[in-house]
C-alpha cells in the first residue's frame, strides 16, 4: 500500500473502495480461466450444466434428424443462457426465469377473502353482521340524551 504526505507532515494511507469486490453484484463480474480462455463464472457454469441435457437430446434425436441433430446442443445451451442471464426490460428487471416463475405463481385475476379464493360471480346471498354485541346501557344513555337509538 502506498503512502502520501498530508498536511503538517502527517502520513495518509490511500483508501480503496471494496464495493465492487464484495458488494451485492460482486459475483456478476467474477471470471475463471478455462483452457486459457477467460470467461465469466456464472454463464460458464450455466452453459456447462445445460450442455449435459443438450448432449443427451442430441444423441436421442440423432437417428431421426441425422447431422441436423448437432444443432440441438447449441440451441439448448443458448436457451439456458437466455433464461438465466438475460433480464426482463420491465418492472424489477429480474432474470428471465425468475419473471416466468413469478408470472406462474401470480394471483392476478383472483379474489381472496380470509385466505380463501372466492368466485366474484357467485350469486349466493350473504348477510353481514356486526362483530360485537350492542351494550344495553349505552343505548339507554343515548335515549336519555335525546339522541336516536
108-145 confidence digits (pLDDT tens): 777 777 777 777 777 776 777 767 777 777 666 555 55
- Does the model's pTM come out above 0.75? no
Residue 18 has pLDDT above 80, yes or no: no
Q: Is residue 75 part of a domain?
A: yes
Q: Is residue 24 part of a domain?
A: no
The Cα 143–Cα 147 span in angstroms is 6
Q: Is residue 51 part of a domain?
A: yes
Q: Is residue 17 part of a domain?
A: no
Residue 54 has pLDDT above 60, yes or no: yes
In terms of residue numbers, what domain contains 100? Answer: 31-142
Q: Is residue 134 part of a domain?
A: yes
Question: Rounded to 10 degrees, what is the CA torsion of 91, 93, 98, 100?
Answer: 50
What confidence category does residue 7 fall into, taking pLDDT thresholds of 50, 70 and 90?
low
Residues 74-108 have pLDDT tens digits of 999 999 999 998 888 888 888 888 888 888 777 77
Q: Is residue 104 part of a domain?
A: yes
Q: Is residue 49 part of a domain?
A: yes
Within 10 angstroms of residue 77's Cβ, the number of other Cβ atoms is 19
Q: Specify whether the CB–CB gap between 147 and 138 falls below 8 A.
A: no
The Cα 28–Cα 34 span in angstroms is 17
Residue 6 has pLDDT above 50, yes or no: yes
What is the number of domains present in the chain?
1
The Cα 40–Cα 33 span in angstroms is 9
Mean pLDDT across the stretch 7-24? 73
Q: Is residue 15 part of a domain?
A: no
Amino acid at each position: 500500500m502506498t503512502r502520501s504526505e498530508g498536511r503538517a507532515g502527517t502520513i495518509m494511507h490511500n483508501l480503496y473502495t471494496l464495493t465492487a469486490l464484495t458488494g451485492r453484484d460482486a459475483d456478476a463480474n467474477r471470471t475463471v480461466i478455462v483452457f486459457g480462455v477467460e470467461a465469466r463464472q456464472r454463464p460458464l457454469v450455466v452453459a456447462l450444466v445445460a450442455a449435459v441435457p443438450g448432449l443427451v437430446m442430441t444423441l436421442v434425436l440423432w437417428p431421426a434428424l441425422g447431422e441436423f441433430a448437432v444443432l440441438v446442443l447449441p440451441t439448448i445451451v443458448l436457451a439456458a443462457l437466455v433464461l438465466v442471464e438475460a433480464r426482463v426490460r420491465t418492472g424489477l428487471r429480474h432474470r428471465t426465469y425468475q419473471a416466468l416463475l413469478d408470472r406462474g405463481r401470480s394471483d392476478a385475476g383472483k379474489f381472496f377473502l380470509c385466505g380463501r379464493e372466492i368466485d366474484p360471480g357467485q350469486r349466493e346471498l350473504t348477510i353481514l353482521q356486526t362483530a360485537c354485541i350492542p351494550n344495553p346501557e349505552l343505548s339507554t344513555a343515548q335515549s336519555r340524551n335525546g339522541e336516536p337509538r
